[in-house]
Amino acid sequence: MKAMTVFAVLLMLSGCGGSGNRGNSTSLASKSDIAVAGEAAGVTPFIALVELRGSSLAAAQSISYTIPSKPGAASRPANITYSIAALNRRQHTDATSSLQLPVFGLYAGYSNEVSICIRFVDASNACLPLTIATAAYTDPNGIYDRPLIIKQRTAGSALGFDFFALKSELELPVIIDTDGEIRWVGGAATPSTSSNFVDNGFVIGDATGTTVYRAELDGSISSTILSAAPSAEFNHNIDFGRAGLLGELTFATNIATTISEFTPSGGFGKTWDFSQLISAYMTSLGDDPTLFVRPGIDWFHSNSATYDPRDNSIIVSSRENFLMKVDYDSGDIIWILGDPTKYWYTFPSLRAKALTLQGGGLYPIGQHAVSITGEGLVMVMNDGFGSVAEPAGEPAGETRTYSAVSAYSIDLATRSATEAWHFDYGKTLRSNFCGSAYQAWDQSVLVDFAGVDNLTLARLIGLDAQQNVVFDFQYATTNCNTAWNAVPVHLENLRF
């Protein structure tokens, strides 16, 4: 490993939180011989591999590190903890008292003052300060390293997240902090439209097949081919299900109508084919489903789904039509929420499942990124662009001049929905397609207007719990390829 600048290569006996070792000459920390032996650059400047050596590693329980924020930054420091068991599973240790610690979340082109702290089995702690000088980074896409900061986050502003990942058609997800700094880029050009942050890494579905990639934050990447019918491929998002992940799938003639729950290790499991599900339901009530369900045409266009544990159901977003909730086990339709001026509402069977929107709120139109908030509301990026694949002469529904984030409460007893709140940024932005909105633990929200100004710009916006704009970053895009969806990622408190 190449040499690095180190403040101290001998272990400094200073407390790192928890039960410290000060004044305790019998603690394992006080007797430790662990030292930094070297450092190697990772696959990008945002990742380094630090080698620790010493016989005392045998008594280590976990190792954490902190990367302080730049002076004047509002984002919290990156703080990562690995248990020794996790490092063993990832093959970062060996049998010769040596350990390789992946350090990610570094600033590129910067001298990062990093504190590595070892916690021993007797709960004593000791820390090694060091400086990792990283190379500069130039985004090959000419996008992520040159945001237009429309509103800078200020120190002390309230947000429940400090980092977020942009799902990209250009490469692996890119992690940005809430100051607009790139903090992680992987080493592969694998498109990551169908992806999510799962167990401290990215799970990515192949847009040309059923290969699932896993990109770790240490820069490594692996792949698994899932068994499926011929010609299946991932499209749109990957979301969390009951027993695994919910992936939208396209088959030869069923275009974006199938959702299947899967795990990278176990393959595909429970599957909902909405062509069959809706056809059977419409037929049972006397409607002709062939007028609505049209194989070979993108009549449904599923783009996201979410599992609701409160009633064992999933909610699917059909961009062309509505939000639909179905029973997880039976597939029975529970409710439909969508624009009643669209084509779907002309069918009595579908109309029978429709919720009425109370209070004059916004119906979901062309929506993306359905999720359930901590308060139990159904939230979507409400793009506001009408249907594009209805039969000739049939109603496409309303098209608004702006997009919004909408959160709905559902009352099944009255078969109604109420828009509990929405954020429309003064009706100044419209993302005809794509985009997302996800809530953090404190009810703050990350909003992604993925394709404004005729799909040429992406706007990433942080809202506090009162829907005040905390930051607003703008990136160039082409047809949503920069940030078709974005999710909070908690590098400020990541535990392996």
DSSP string, 24-48: -TTSTTTT---EEEEEEE-SSTTEE
What mean pLDDT is predicted for residues 452-457?
97
DSSP secondary structure letter of residue 2: B
CATH topology for 35-133? Answer: Immunoglobulin-like (2.60.40)
Domain 148-495 has CATH 2.120.10.30: yes
d(CA 331, CA 325): 9
Q: What is the pLDDT of residue 17?
A: 41
Is the Cβ–Cβ distance between 62 and 126 less than 8 Å?
Answer: no
What mean pLDDT is predicted for residues 319-328?
98
Percent of the chain whose predicted confidence (pLDDT) is above 90: 90
Q: What is the pLDDT of residue 12?
A: 38
Q: What are phi and psi of 263, to 5 degrees?
A: -130, 145
Alpha helices in 36-168 (DSSP H): 84-89
d(CA 296, CA 326): 24
- What are the pLDDT digits (tens) for 153-205? 999 999 999 999 999 999 999 999 999 999 999 999 999 999 999 999 999 99
DSSP secondary structure letter of residue 400: -
∠ CA 432-454-485, rounded to 5°: 50
Q: What is the pLDDT of residue 229?
A: 60
What mean pLDDT is predicted for residues 334-353?
98
DSSP secondary structure letter of residue 251: -
Q: Which of 23-27, 143-147, 379-383 has the lowest mean pLDDT?
A: 23-27
- What are the pLDDT digits (tens) for 245-300? 999 999 878 899 999 999 998 899 999 999 999 999 999 999 999 999 999 999 99
Band of residue 230 on the pLDDT scale cut at 50, 70, 90: low
User: Mean pLDDT for the chain?
Assistant: 93
Half-sphere exposure of 332 (CA within 13 A, CB side): 6
At residue 16, does pLDDT exceed 50?
Answer: no
Is the Cβ–Cβ distance between 323 and 370 less than 8 Å?
Answer: yes
Q: Which two tokens stand for residue 164?
A: 């977020």
Q: Which of 82, 88, 147 is closest to 119 using CA atoms?
A: 82
Q: What are phi and psi of 35, to 5 degrees?
A: -145, 160
Is the Cβ–Cβ distance between 181 and 174 less than 8 Å?
Answer: no
At residue 19, does pLDDT exceed 60?
Answer: no
Q: What is the pLDDT of residue 24?
A: 67
3-class DSSP state of 202: strand
What mean pLDDT is predicted for residues 367-391?
98
**pTM of the model as a whole:** 0.93
What mean pLDDT is predicted for residues 18-41?
80
Amino acid letter for position 6: V
Q: Which of 487, 124, 461, 118 is closest to 306 using CA atoms?
A: 487
Band of residue 94 on the pLDDT scale cut at 50, 70, 90: low
**CATH 2.120.10.30 domain locations along the chain:** 148-495
At residue 8, does pLDDT exceed 90?
Answer: no
Q: What is the pLDDT of residue 468?
A: 97
Q: What is the pLDDT of residue 20?
A: 47
Amino acid letter for position 108: A
What mean pLDDT is predicted for residues 394-410?
98
Which residue in the block uniquely carries the two structure tokens 């207007």? 449
Q: CB neighbours of 332 closer than 8 A, spacing ≥ 6?
A: 281, 326
Is the Cβ–Cβ distance between 386 and 453 less than 8 Å?
Answer: no
Q: What is the pLDDT of residue 90?
A: 80
At residue 312, does pLDDT exceed 80?
Answer: yes
Q: CB neighbours of 286 closer than 8 A, spacing ≥ 6?
A: 348, 349
Band of residue 5 on the pLDDT scale cut at 50, 70, 90: very low
Q: What is the pLDDT of residue 25?
A: 74
- Beta-sheet pairing, 457-463 with 469-476: antiparallel
At residue 1, does pLDDT exceed 80?
Answer: no
